[in-house]
Amino acid sequence: MSEYLSEEEQIAKMKTWWGQNGTSLVLSIVVGIVVIAGWRWYDSYSEDQVHEASRAYALYLAASPEDKAVAAAQISDDFKGTAYHAFVLFQQARDALAKEDFLRAEQLLQQVIDEADDILLVDLARIRIAKLQYALDRSSEALSTLDAISNEGYRSMGLETKGDIYAGLGQVELAHEAYRAALDSLDPAEQRPILEMKAKNVAPFNGEYVEFSATLSDALEQAQQTLDEAAAAEKEATQPPSATQVAAPQTNAQETESDDE
């Protein structure tokens, strides 16, 4: 009898607990099922979206010049903010630069900054727009644009671009600091010979920074010319003398003897 009463007590306790917690337990289970089902649907939807965006971008690349505008507008409407939308804007900015439509190119790059979801693409757009701003004699804006770079992946490139701007402005010390910072931010395994050359080109001489007149391209051209001249001289030195060169000393000796007579 005591065992029977014990089971009744257990059932009564279970009923009491269920009355207090049953609703929240059922609700938790339902929410969990909905979350799992929703995540699976979203994952499938996202994958489909990526495929559709990739297909739309491929069609844009293959489109004729007349149809590219329509394809670009379609991507902007359906996949705004995605990487593929940014790729289209980069392509359009490059085309605008080729036509020397600098204002249009700047607007397109700014659109990447304003709308792209990927911070890497945003920082890449910042670097490109900063170079354009500097080319348009808006150095202060260019430097401010580069200051906004936040991803480590483009930190070194952004600092190098800063160095280029400072060097172009004749601010040698700031250029050197920017180049050195760019080198310091590189991965230990990464090699950037041109960046190293830029840093050396603006390094202090005898403890002082000296403004240089030659650009980096001029320096590279002069270095290549020196190498070519050295190679030509070495080649000439290793070639055997010609018959004319061998006979020349004999002719001179005969002329000397004739003069003595």
- Asked whether residue 213 is domain-assigned, the answer is yes
Question: Under 8 Å CB-to-CB from 54, ≥6 apart: which residues?
Answer: 84
How does the average pLDDT of the chain come out, rounded? 77
CATH code assigned at 75? 1.20.58
Domain that holds residue 166: 151-226
- Asked whether residue 208 is domain-assigned, the answer is yes
Tokens of 19: 């009355």
Q: What is the pLDDT of residue 86?
A: 93
Q: Are residues 44 and 137 in the same domain?
A: yes
Q: Which residue type, as a one-letter code, is found at position 65?
A: P
- Asked whether residue 237 is domain-assigned, the answer is no
What is the arithmetic mean of pLDDT over 185-200?
89
Tokens of 154: 């483009």
What is the arithmetic mean of pLDDT over 204-212?
74
Query: Would the pTM count as exceeding 0.75?
Result: no
- Asked whether residue 250 is domain-assigned, the answer is no
Q: How far apart are CA 70 and CA 60, in angstroms?
A: 9
- Asked whether residue 110 is domain-assigned, the answer is yes
Please give the tally of structural domains in the chain.
2
Express as a percent the part of the chain with pLDDT over 90.
44
Q: How confident is the model at residue 177 (pLDDT cuts 50, 70, 90)?
A: very high
Q: How confident is the model at residue 111 (pLDDT cuts 50, 70, 90)?
A: very high
Residues 175, 181, 185, 188, CA torsion sign = positive
pLDDT: which is higher, 64 or 20: 64
H-helix or E-strand spanning residue 223: helix 216-238
Q: How far apart are CA 159 and CA 151, in angstroms?
A: 12
Q: What's the distance, CA 76 to chain centroid?
A: 23
Q: Is the pLDDT of residue 31 over 60?
A: no
- Give the end-to-end CA distance of the chain in Å, rounded to a whole number: 157
The listed range with the strongest mean pLDDT (36-40, 51-55, 68-72, 176-180) is 176-180
Q: Is the pLDDT of residue 190 over 50?
A: yes
Q: Cβ distance 149 to 114 under 8 Å?
A: no
Q: What's the distance, CA 127 to chain centroid?
A: 8
- Asked whether residue 23 is domain-assigned, the answer is no
* Tokens 């289970």 belong to residue: 29
- Domain end position, chosen among 142, 175, 207: 142
- Asked whether residue 10 is domain-assigned, the answer is no
Q: Are residues 137 and 161 in the same domain?
A: no
